[in-house]
Amino acid sequence: MTTDLSPLYPQLPENALIVLIGASGAGKTTLARTWPAFQVLSLDTLRGWVSDDEGCQEASGDAVDALHLLVDRRMARRRNTVVDATNVTRDARAPLVAAAKRHNMPAIAVVLGTPEAVCLARQVPRPDNRTVPADTVRVQHQLMVHSHQSLRAEGFNEVHFAENLYRLEPFLRRLGEARDADLGLDGSNGLGDLLLVRRVFGPEILPLWQWKHRSGVAGGDRVAEIRLGQLHLTLALRRDVDGEGDYAFDVMVPCPFDPECRGYAWAPADNITSLHRALTGPLDNHEDVVCSVHGGFDDVDQEADEHDHDDDPEGRADLEAQHADAVRT
């Protein structure tokens, strides 16, 4: 495949106002995601910002006001801006084009000519508050078709159809650059080992994550701590799960077999919910908990347990609670 695709696919200006035009379900949001997130102004997202509900149609007026304000401020800074909204009427497009002209920025119309039947089919799996009625979609599609001939007259510098855009290469290049930055291959510190942390637990946990160097609590595996105030969780990075070389995390929990156990018990932690359950207790008796002294539920050596608490269940519960507090605080 040739790498020089520019003769076949038009290149957009580096900085411009790019207005996506298409009926609901045409694929505007999918296309918009090929640009960096900060450059995209989504009407749905703005509805969420002003009302906590992206599907709240009553918030559309406020969302449009916010959209126009942000477009104007970004045009003033000469920032590339993509407007993700239906924009099928001239009245909807006029304030956007005016903002671009006010700040001497090019305005680019990108028409998504997705067939009407496809737009209608894409409404089916959407939640009720995000589903656009079929009659509305048909009207939007007709307006999109009829608007194409008038876009130049409205002030757009260029008009393109989405299927002709050269978006895959810059999208893949941007993702590759982000990946190199995460790994530190661009000369920066990068995220390094935190890549796996982010993939499993999400980016929000990264500011709380600290690797504990020279810790021996995980049998030689790397140990980390998530701490906020007095509460913390201890985790182990397992580099050879099931002997197959896979990576995974365990989180430390109280030993479920002996509240006075001096070993270290671990439960699998494969998402952020696992961490919440470890902190609050429901993970303590997970079937896959393994203690460094007692093993797992399938191979606990009851004879090696010198503490028989069967006759004192209340005392056992108190000890378990104390041990749980010791692990988590």
Per domain, the residue ranges of the chain are 17-179, 194-328
Residue-wise pLDDT tens for the chain (329 aa)?
344 444 456 678 989 999 999 999 999 999 999 999 999 999 999 999 999 998 888 999 999 999 999 999 999 999 999 999 999 999 999 999 999 999 999 999 999 999 999 999 999 998 888 889 999 999 999 999 999 889 999 999 999 999 888 788 788 888 888 888 887 777 777 777 788 898 899 889 988 999 998 888 998 899 999 998 889 999 999 987 767 778 899 999 999 999 899 899 999 999 999 999 999 999 999 999 999 999 998 866 544 444 444 444 444 444 344 444 444 44
Tokens (6 digits) for 47 = 């509805």
The SS3 of residue 263 is coil
CATH number 3.40.50.300 is the correct assignment for the domain at 17-179: yes
Where in the chain does DSSP place strands (E)?
Answer: 17-21, 40-42, 81-84, 107-111, 158-161, 209-212, 222-228, 231-241, 246-253, 265-268, 290-291, 295-296
Which residues make Cβ contacts (< 8 Å) with residue 316, sequence separation at least 6?
A: 259, 309
Neighbours of 222 (CB within 10 A): 15
What CA–CA distance (Å, rounded) separates 209 from 197? 9
Neighbours of 322 (CB within 10 A): 13
Give the residue carrying structure tokens 């207005």: 19
- Which two structure tokens, joined as six digits, stand for 308? 């028989």
